Amino acid sequence: MTSISRRSAVLGVAALTAGLALTGCTKAATDSGAAGTGAATAAAKLSVVFIPKNLGNPYFDTSDAGGKKVVESLGGTYSEVGPQQASPDGQVQYINTAAQQRASALVVSANDPKAIGDALNQARKGGTKVVTFDSDTDPQYRDLFINQASPDGLAKVEVDGITKQIGDSGEIAILSASANATNQNAWIDLMKKDLAANHPNVKLVDVVYGNDDDQTSFDKTAALLQTHPNLKGIISPTTVGIAAAARYLSTSDKKGKVALTGLGTPNQMREYVKNGTVNEFYLWNPADLGGLAAYAADALVKGKITGKEGDTFTAGELGDFKVGANQTVLLGDPFAFNAGNIDQFTF
């Protein structure tokens, strides 16, 4: 399954510029220091720009749709722009454009923890609130991070899943997104520690990167199986990667012999669960993640919270949330999808 490219980079910038200009958005409320010195009134129209890692990614289509629903329910203006390929340089131009147009808030899934930092802080100095979600920057570059689940919880559920499926013995590999993806690298480090401490008979023989591109991930899966003929399992903590790996395995002689798990969406993985390629995979609800990020952005813009530890805010039907250490808000625990429940979900 290939990603669908929805717009060119040039058109994306143009659309953002025109959209924000037409809405007449005003500068968001700011704090001292990196967050700027301006002030917003309660009457200022909320304008939130979502910048995913890349466009045409089903995971971000779902998460950003959740954000759109919340922003519009709050009477605000929603925009989604971003690069076609997942790269930090590709995100910077959209950050800069949104800042120049004085968006109230940016909601960003970072392609690098540092490379987009200067652009984000420049936006903050102009009064724009910055919320990262899914993949974080260094804390100094944003006001809040909306974490989909704890890194420890995600790493553990994936390691537990693959080791159970292969009988807690044998060779496994990891098919990740990009080498610089903050969230992926944090999870992988924790997976390595868990394997070393609790699964001495399971050997991690390789970590490869599909750059959140369907064809690249498909090709990397083929190469893994060729390079490691004794491979018994693959973990892919990326929705693009796991779907591409499943597509390859489903038509290969390794189907049913090489276990695959990781993070995926039900709509992507349904056929592979039903045809026996994949037994179980994990995720949170990305629409809830995008919605929570939008509620957090609104709370920052309206001055209900500042992002300090202990701040609390209400996120509609999602409930009440508290800001934790390092200005982080946790959505919840990962969920296991399998043949017994996958038809209950349609994202």
Q: What is the CATH number of the domain that holds 273?
A: 3.40.50.2300
Residue 306 identity (one-letter amino acid): T
Same structural domain for residues 199 and 224? yes
- Looking at the chain, list the stretches that DSSP marks H as alpha helix, in order from N- to C-terminal side: 9-23, 58-73, 88-100, 117-125, 151-165, 182-198, 214-227, 239-250, 266-274, 286-301
Distance CA 241, CA 73 (A): 33
Backbone torsions φ then ψ of 118, nearest 5 degrees:
-65, -40
> Among 283, 304, 320, where does a domain finish?
283
The model carries a pTM of: 0.69
Residue 104 identity (one-letter amino acid): S
Q: Among all chains, which residue has been given the structure tokens 């709509």?
A: 267
Count of domains forming the chain = 2
Per-residue model confidence (pLDDT) at position 45: 87
Task: Indicate whether 111 belongs to any domain.
Answer: yes
Q: What is the average per-residue pLDDT within 256-274?
A: 96
> Among 283, 307, 340, where does a domain finish?
283
Same structural domain for residues 250 and 227? yes
Distance CA 92, CA 94 (A): 5
Same structural domain for residues 87 and 180? no
Lowest mean pLDDT among 74-83, 281-290, 292-301: 281-290
Summarised one tens digit per residue, pLDDT across range 293-314 is 999 999 999 999 999 999 999 9
Are 237 and 187 in contact by the 8 Å Cβ rule? The answer is yes
- Residue 80 is part of which domain span? 44-148+286-332
Counting residues of the chain whose pLDDT is more than 90, the rounded percentage is: 80
Distance CA 98, CA 134 (A): 20
Per-residue model confidence (pLDDT) at position 44: 67
Lowest mean pLDDT among 20-29, 109-118, 262-271, 309-318: 20-29
Length of the chain: 347
Summarised one tens digit per residue, pLDDT across range 200-232 is 999 999 999 999 999 999 999 999 999 999 999
Lowest mean pLDDT among 179-183, 235-239, 277-281, 311-315: 179-183
Look at residue 83 and give its three-state secondary structure: coil
Task: Indicate whether 7 belongs to any domain.
Answer: no
Summarised one tens digit per residue, pLDDT across range 114-143 is 999 999 999 999 999 999 999 999 999 999
User: Among 146, 132, 157, which residue's Cα sits nearest to residue 333?
Assistant: 157
Per-residue model confidence (pLDDT) at position 193: 98
Same structural domain for residues 126 and 228? no
Q: What is the average per-residue pLDDT within 273-291?
A: 95
Q: Among all chains, which residue has been given the structure tokens 């990305």?
A: 286
Same structural domain for residues 291 and 312? yes
